[in-house]
Structure 1
Amino acid sequence: MDFTFIHAADIHLDSPLKGLSRYEGAPVGRLRSATREAFINLVDLAIDRQVNFVIIAGDLYDGDWKDYNTGLFFASEMARLEKHEIPVFMIKGNHDAASVITKEIKLPANVHVFDVKKCESRQLDDIRVAIHGQGFNTRAVLENLAKGYPPCVNGYYNIGVLHTSAGGREGHENYAPCSVEDMKGKGYDYWALGHIHKREFLSQKDPVILFPGNIQSRHSKETGIKGCSLIEVENGVTKEITHIPLDVLRWDVIEADLTDVTQYEDFLAQAEQEIERAFDLADGRMLAIRIILTGHTALHSELARNKEAVLNDLRSMAFSVGQGDIWIEKLKIKTSTPRILSEGEGANPLTGMLEWLDELSYEELLQEIRVEFQSLHNALPMDLKRGEEQVIPDSEDVLKDKLHSIKDVIKDGLLQERGQKA
């Protein structure tokens, strides 16, 4: 049989997008509606392509709803698919586990939500498809669910729907861990995975095992094209898998190396070129950009002292380039002053401090900081304990960033001492 279906995951409808209030000028309304608009694009695609069915591999929601509007929106979109006789098969992921979502709305008859206590199978006999799936009963499922999936149904195109970290992925909890061999052992034709927000093939054939990624990025760590996979099957064999963009707002990170840049105007010209390039690649979508400045540059002190003014210059430029469709989310200045020290220079308290910083063990210093500031850490509010706003470093990378800033202050002092202009 020939048929087509859509594989999507990690919708995160009405994701709260915490912390937006900290960003002056943030397009809050457009950001908050982005997940809904991307989901509408998904439903439109299913109708336009007249697919045989849609699979949602977990994390439809983003945790408990503030009100019923989130569930009502989803139900209304499913009713649109029901009108076109398109069934939907979905599992619950860690964000919409049975123990997390406390509200419930009756869904249209075309929507089937797989059991959370055991693997369940559904067969579409007219096109000879068997779909197997099990959702999350609790937020943290640590056992290998794949082992409980049944063997393939002979003579059918078999699809396994699973929310999993597979072998583990950076930035994601290791939920429902399993191996590629576990999945291949079932004899299925396609594994529709969810949980990992970056598109990734674990196997491209015999069987296809795919994370499609989320359909709409929500922050600067989720860059690039976001969407779903459209799968075309001919004579029971996977023939074509196409990644279809659904996102309405795209995130990008621009890293600009300012090594040897000495004039502020040259920096702005370089930044403008990078912003224009990123906007062209967004293909008409709104673009949220984080800019990271790096390199040894004589502009370092000026940039560090006037960060707010620099950010406003960049935002003004972005408004001109994108006519309101570009938002500079954040500016991170990781530049350094030019190398000014040479071997054999006379002793100096500042140079001695630099040498100490270069030679120290980050691991040992981090441990000392944890011991010394434990009571203060316990008293801090949660938003100051983690992420980019954390006061006390919780990792070697964060510690390095903070010491990097200290070293720059010392270098500025040396430059002033020698009468050199930074």
Structure 2
Amino acid sequence: MDFTFIHAADIHLDSPLKGLEKYEGAPVEKIRNATRDAFRNLVDLAIEKKVCFLIIAGDLYDGDWKDYNTGLFFVSQMSRLQKENIPVFLIRGNHDAASLITKELKLPNNVIEFPVDQPITETIEEYNVALHGQGFSSRAVTENLAKAYPAKKEGYINIGILHTSATGREGHETYAPCSLEDLRIKDYDYWALGHIHLREVLQESNPVILFPGNIQGRHIRETGNKGCTIVHVKNGRINSYEHHSLDVLRWELCEVDASDAKAIDEVIEKAREQLERLYQQNEGRFLAVRIRVIGATSIHQRLIVEKDHIINNLRSTALEVGYGDVWIEKIKIETNRLIDIEELKEQHTPVANILEYLEEITNDPDTLQLLLQEFKDLQNALPQELKSSEESFDFQSTDLLTKRLPEVEDLLLYYLTTQAGVEKPS
């Protein structure tokens, strides 16, 4: 019998998107509703493709609900599938483990949740499908769950549903670890995995083993195309499968090389070209972009001094390029100076004396501590949001102070060397 099903994972419904700096024009509503809109797209797709069932391989939720609205939204979407006679098979992952979710709602009859204490098998006799799965009872499941999964059911398409880090992936905690051999030995036809947010096919066939990735990127470390996997079964075998995009807000990195730039306008124009390319590549989808300005450049000091001017002009450029649908999440100026500091120090000028003093400060813990004392009053006066932001200044740490000194050095070089004729402003 020929049929189609969808494999999705890591929905993280109502997860707050992270690292979003608020400024005029920020798409607050679009950001807030992104995971719901992506999930609604998943349900729309299941109905449009007339799939026989939907698999959710863990982390439907992002943790305990703030209120019942998260659960009610899920129920409303499942009711849409129930109306179309589409069953949903799900397991719990580390973010929605049984011990984490304190609020519960009765789910529609088409939603089948696997237990968390042992793996079991659910069958769909109409399609000769046997689904094997087990959810997480607690957030940190460190044992190999796959080893206890049931033997395959003869004469059926066998599908394993597992939330796992597999052999381990960078940026993801090690939960329910297993090897590919642990999965192969079960002799299933398909392993529907969850937990890893980047789509990855671990084995292309016999059995197919894959992570579909999450359906909506939540921060700048989750860039690119996000969605689910559509699987086609023909003559009782897995015939083909493909990725389908679901995300409504896509995260992208934009690197602007300022190496050969002679003026700030050139940097902004380069950024425009990159943003236009990204917007076209993503077919007009709403983009949240982080811009990194890189390279060793003669205008390095100007970029540091005129940072606010550049940031706001780049934001304005993005709004223009995307007609309001390209939003700048953050801009990082990470260029390097072309001025030879050691050569300047050898000139025995006032500039050289200042540079040498800064170098001494960097290597003198006592002086650094005295500098921190000078900032005590400023620390107390700062609002909380400036103390807790990603780039906040920690007045208790000399390490962070030494990291800031190069920026001070750049500011001094700009104001002193431009006057002395070492670097002419462009």
Please give the TM-score of this superposition, normalised by the length of structure 2. 0.86
* Structure 1 residues 187 and 262, CA gap change in structure 2 (3 angstroms): same
For the residues of structure 1 that align with 2:161 and 2:387, how far apart are their CA atoms? 38
For the residues of structure 2 that align with 1:392 and 1:184, how far apart are their CA atoms? 54
* Structure 1 residues 265 and 209, CA gap change in structure 2 (3 angstroms): same
> What residue in structure 2 maps to residue 266 of structure 1?
266
> What residue in structure 1 maps to residue 310 of structure 2?
310
In our comparison, the structure showing a higher alpha carbon Rg is: 2
> What residue in structure 1 maps to residue 159 of structure 2?
159
For the residues of structure 2 that align with 1:205 and 1:392, how far apart are their CA atoms? 56
Residue 419 of structure 1 and its aligned partner are, at CA, apart by: 3.0
> What residue in structure 2 maps to residue 77 of structure 1?
77
Contact 1:159 1:189 in 2 (8 A): yes
> What residue in structure 1 maps to residue 174 of structure 2?
174
Deviations 1:372-394 (A, max 9, x none): 9xxx9xxxx99968955574999
Deviations 1:98-148 (A, max 9, x none): 111111011110000110111111111221111111111111111111111
For the residues of structure 1 that align with 2:418 and 2:132, how far apart are their CA atoms? 69
Contact 1:251 1:289 in 2 (8 A): yes
Residue 341 of structure 1 and its aligned partner are, at CA, apart by: 4.8
Q: Which one is further off, 299-308 or 251-260?
A: 299-308
> What residue in structure 2 maps to residue 297 of structure 1?
297
Q: Which one is further off, 145-154 or 52-61?
A: 145-154
For the residues of structure 1 that align with 2:321 and 2:313, how far apart are their CA atoms? 12
Q: Is residue 419 from structure 1 mapped to residue 407 from structure 2 by the alignment?
A: no
Q: Which one is further off, 139-148 or 82-91?
A: 139-148
* Structure 1 residues 209 and 385, CA gap change in structure 2 (3 angstroms): farther
* Structure 1 residues 23 and 152, CA gap change in structure 2 (3 angstroms): farther
Structure 2: runs of 5 or more not aligned: 377-383
> What residue in structure 1 maps to residue 325 of structure 2?
325
1:101-112 matches, cutoff 5 A: 101-112=101-112
For the residues of structure 1 that align with 2:30 and 2:163, how far apart are their CA atoms? 29
Q: Secondary structure at the match of 1:196?
A: coil
* Structure 1 residues 204 and 404, CA gap change in structure 2 (3 angstroms): farther
* Structure 1 residues 106 and 304, CA gap change in structure 2 (3 angstroms): same
Contact 1:133 1:162 in 2 (8 A): yes
Deviations 1:263-301 (A, max 9, x none): 122112111101111111121211111100011112222
For the residues of structure 2 that align with 1:202 and 1:390, how far apart are their CA atoms? 43
For the residues of structure 2 that align with 1:250 and 1:204, how far apart are their CA atoms? 27
> What residue in structure 2 maps to residue 234 of structure 1?
234
Structure 1: runs of 5 or more not aligned: none
Contact 1:296 1:339 in 2 (8 A): no
Q: Which one is further off, 94-103 or 341-350?
A: 341-350
Contact 1:354 1:410 in 2 (8 A): no
RMSD: 3.2
Q: Secondary structure at the match of 2:127?
A: coil
For the residues of structure 1 that align with 2:69 and 2:200, how far apart are their CA atoms? 32
> What residue in structure 2 maps to residue 13 of structure 1?
13
For the residues of structure 1 that align with 2:405 and 2:144, how far apart are their CA atoms? 42
> What residue in structure 2 maps to residue 41 of structure 1?
41
For the residues of structure 1 that align with 2:338 and 2:65, how far apart are their CA atoms? 52
1:393-404 matches, cutoff 5 A: none
Contact 2:20 2:329 in 1 (8 A): no
> What residue in structure 2 maps to residue 202 of structure 1?
202
Q: Which one is further off, 385-394 or 321-330?
A: 385-394
Q: Secondary structure at the match of 1:94?
A: coil
For the residues of structure 2 that align with 1:108 and 1:393, how far apart are their CA atoms? 54
Count matched residues: 407
AA aligned to 1:420 is V
Residue 169 of structure 1 and its aligned partner are, at CA, apart by: 1.3
* Structure 1 residues 385 and 134, CA gap change in structure 2 (3 angstroms): farther
Residue 261 of structure 1 and its aligned partner are, at CA, apart by: 0.6
Contact 2:268 2:310 in 1 (8 A): no
Contact 2:302 2:414 in 1 (8 A): no
Q: Secondary structure at the match of 2:33?
A: helix
> What residue in structure 2 maps to residue 64 of structure 1?
64
